[in-house]
Amino acid sequence: MTVDGMSKLEDYLSTKGKIDGSNSRLLREAAYERLYEAIKHAQLQPGEPLSETRLSKALGISRTPVREALQRLAKEGLVQVIPGRAITIAAPSIQDVFDAIHVRELLEPELVRLAAEAMPTEEKTKMLSLTHEMDRAAKAGDRPRWSKADIKWHETLCNACPNHLLGEMVMQARNRIFTQAADEHVPEQYLIEGTAEHLQIVQAILNGEGEKAKQITLDHIRNVRENMVKRFFQY
Q: What is the pLDDT of residues 63-93, one digit of tens each?
A: 999 999 999 999 888 898 887 778 898 888 8
**177 pLDDT above the threshold of 50:** yes
Tell me the three state secondary structure of residue 82.
Answer: strand
Instruction: Specify whether 41 is located in the same domain as 155.
Output: no
pLDDT band at 154 (very low <50, low <70, confident <90, very high): very high
Instruction: Specify whether 223 is located in the same domain as 161.
Output: yes
Instruction: Specify whether 116 is located in the same domain as 14.
Output: no
Query: Which positions ≥6 away from 32 have C-beta within 8 Å?
Result: 68, 69, 72, 73
Q: What is the pLDDT of residues 178-206, one digit of tens each?
A: 654 455 567 788 889 999 999 999 999 99
Can you tell me the mean pLDDT for 100-125?
96
As a residue count, the chain comes to 235
Per the structure, the complete domain to which residue 67 belongs is given by 5-89
Instruction: Specify whether 153 is located in the same domain as 83.
Output: no
> How many other C-beta atoms lie within 10 A of the C-beta of residue 96?
14
Query: Which positions ≥6 away from 161 have C-beta within 8 Å?
Result: 111, 114, 115, 118, 167, 170
Instruction: Specify whether 98 is located in the same domain as 200.
Output: yes
Instruction: Specify whether 105 is located in the same domain as 54.
Output: no
Phi and psi at residue 143, to the nearest 5°: -65, -45
Q: What is the pLDDT of residues 113-142, one digit of tens each?
A: 999 999 999 999 999 999 999 999 999 988
- Closest CA relative to residue 151, chosen from 122, 178, 123: 178
pTM check: above 0.85: no
Q: What is the pLDDT of residues 3-16, one digit of tens each?
A: 677 888 888 888 88
**CATH number assigned to the domain comprising residue 73:** 1.10.10.10
Instruction: Specify whether 134 is located in the same domain as 218.
Output: yes
What is the domain count for the chain? 2
Instruction: Specify whether 180 is located in the same domain as 67.
Output: no
